[in-house]
């Protein structure tokens, strides 16, 4: 009982070996023990019934109380230790894996046992994706929302996809610099030497970054490091609490050596970004499903490829491959016509707006950030699109809806778009495409649209965050013809 309410600190594989002489980590060695009995069952073992939405295994203890067990999979029998007890459920971790699931694999990342960046690397990629489709269906069902068929799966590579990441920096009492991600359910910083989910150019920067941080005069002034990858340029943003001229000079030289643009985000309050040397032109291209022709006046414009610029503070879908699939799916579902007027809410830098503007008469884009609206306007001009009306708007409030709108696209943050959906439910707009990064708020908002007479005609799960329990979803709502 002495550990109740506390999470036992994870040990590295090397620590486990030195402590016991022989490595005995059933979770980390999942592939090696697949389908084998690795311990003797006893009355304290529990059976994992299913996965929770966050990827933890769900079981019942001997008294019938629900257990959420980290890194446990359906069909497994495990001995657990409770590290947090609550009134209605307990949170636990595996002490011993008695029987293993056929879907358990060996996590490829050596930091997986500790790092909180991923939470499903012990589950095969195919099983991860089945779980995400089931999670969307279940979250919708909790609100009484049903879909007619299994959602379409938009999937790509399981590793090497993340084009944006933020790593913490900490200096310990002995002066050693640590660089990495936070541990699961903790503020403890896990020192990492590699990260298989980063795009390779960013992953290659981890060792040079660590080495350079150790040479700084004032490493304790560095709070975090942000990595950004465009199609052909890289940027590293250093969050620095106080300016240091020598360290700035060193970062400039480091950027030149590693062919990376370096920016310093300095100051405690209202920090400003200063680029050291070359200012990057971060961009990405969209070239899937955009072969449409739009007639504007006396000109015919064909858009086969779009180039979108973005900055360090802009919203960016972190998986370029899945983002392209989502945009192509949006165009396929909406089936836009050259005479259509489309409203894009939470428009960002124009991810959906520009693709739509290539094949409709007009797009009205609304975004809460002035900086991103200005970026969207730049992207429209850069791509020769003069049919986008980009505006700043407060999307926590019901939007103004033009009666001539043919379709609405919304891609809100995790908090969802309840006020927007309440307003849309009263409209006569034919199609509404909702892109969501939180299935719970998506289900909540879907209820308003369904109560307003819409029906769900298409559903998709986008595996934007492979190796994690996070999922991106798309629902198309259509108003039946009268």
* Residues assigned a catalytic role: 437
Neighbour tally for 244: CB within 10 Å = 19
Distance CA 18, CA 6 (A): 24
What is the C-alpha end-to-end distance of the chain, expressed in Å? 65
| Contact between residue 333 and residue 481 where contact means Cβ atoms under 8 Å apart | no
C-alpha closest to that of 404 among 326, 334, 339 = 339
| Contact between residue 467 and residue 167 where contact means Cβ atoms under 8 Å apart | no
What is the enclosing helix (H) or strand (E) of 431?
strand 431-436
Distance CA 214, CA 336 (A): 54
3-state helix, strand, coil in the chain (%, to 5): 25, 30, 45
Q: What is the per-residue burial (b if ≥16 Cβ within 10 Å, else e) of 299-322?
A: eebebeebebbbbbebbbbbbbbb
Locus of tokens 């428009």? 347
Neighbour tally for 102: CB within 10 Å = 11
Distance CA 339, CA 102 (A): 53
- Is the torsion defined by CA of 67, 70, 74, 76 positive or negative? negative
| Contact between residue 379 and residue 350 where contact means Cβ atoms under 8 Å apart | yes
Distance CA 363, CA 343 (A): 6
3-state secondary structure of 123: strand
**Residues constituting the chain:** 482
Long-range contacts made by residues 141-149, C-beta under 8 angstroms, separation at least 24? 142/443, 143/443, 143/444, 143/446, 143/447, 144/447, 145/443, 145/446, 145/447, 145/450, 145/456, 147/456, 147/459, 147/475, 148/456, 149/459
Tokens of 305: 């490829």
What is the DSSP track for 288-334? SS--EEEEETTEEEEES-EEEE--TTS---SBHHHHHHHHHHHHHHH
């Amino acid at each position: 009982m002495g550990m109740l309410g506390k999470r036992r600190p994870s040990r590295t594989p090397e620590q486990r070996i030195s402590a016991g002489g022989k490595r005995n980590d059933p979770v980390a060695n999942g592939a090696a023990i697949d389908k084998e009995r690795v311990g003797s069952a006893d009355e304290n073992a529990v059976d994992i019934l299913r996965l929770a939405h966050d990827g933890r295994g769900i079981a019942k203890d001997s008294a019938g109380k629900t257990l959420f067990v980290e890194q446990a999979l359906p069909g497994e029998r495990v001995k657990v230790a409770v590290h947090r007890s609550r009134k209605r459920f307990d949170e636990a971790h595996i002490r011993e894996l008695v029987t293993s699931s056929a879907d358990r694999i060996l996590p490829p990342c050596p930091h997986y046992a500790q790092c909180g960046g991923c939470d499903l690397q012990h589950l095969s990629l195919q099983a991860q994706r089945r779980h995400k489709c089931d999670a969307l269906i279940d979250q919708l069902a909790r609100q009484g929302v049903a879909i007619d068929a299994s959602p379409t799966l938009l999937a790509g590579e399981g590793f090497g996809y993340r084009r944006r990441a933020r790593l913490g920096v900490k200096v310990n009492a002995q002066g050693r610099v640590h660089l990495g991600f936070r541990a699961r359910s903790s503020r403890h910083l896990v020192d990492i030497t590699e990260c298989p989910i980063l795009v390779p150019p960013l992953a290659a920067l981890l060792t040079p970054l660590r080495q350079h941080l150790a040479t700084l005069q004032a490493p304790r002034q560095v709070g975090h490091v942000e990595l950004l990858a465009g199609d052909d340029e890289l940027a590293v943003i250093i969050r620095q609490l106080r300016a240091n001229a020598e360290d700035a000079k060193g970062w400039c030289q480091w950027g030149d050596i590693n062919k990376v643009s370096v920016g310093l985000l300095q100051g405690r309050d209202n920090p400003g970004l200063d680029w050291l040397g070359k200012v990057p032109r971060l961009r990405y291209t969209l070239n899937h499903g955009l072969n449409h022709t739009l007639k504007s006046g006396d000109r015919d414009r064909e858009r086969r490829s779009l180039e979108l610029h973005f900055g360090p503070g802009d919203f960016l879908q972190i998986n370029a491959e899945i983002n392209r699939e989502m945009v192509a799916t949006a165009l396929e579902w909406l089936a836009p016509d050259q005479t259509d007027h489309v409203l894009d809410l939470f428009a960002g830098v124009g991810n959906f707006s520009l693709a739509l503007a290539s094949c409709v008469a007009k797009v009205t884009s609304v975004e809460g950030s002035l900086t991103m609206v200005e970026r969207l306007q730049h992207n429209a001009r850069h791509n020769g699109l003069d049919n986008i009306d980009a505006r700043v708007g407060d999307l926590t409030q019901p939007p103004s809806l033009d009666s001539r709108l043919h379709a609405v696209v919304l891609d809100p943050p995790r908090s969802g778009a309840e006020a927007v959906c309440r307003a849309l439910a009263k409209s006569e707009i034919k199609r509404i495409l909702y892109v969501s990064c939180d299935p719970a708020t998506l289900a909540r908002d879907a209820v308003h649209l369904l109560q307003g007479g819409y029906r769900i005609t298409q559903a998709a799960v986008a595996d934007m965050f492979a190796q994690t329990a996070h999922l991106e979803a798309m629902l198309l709502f259509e108003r039946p013809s009268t």
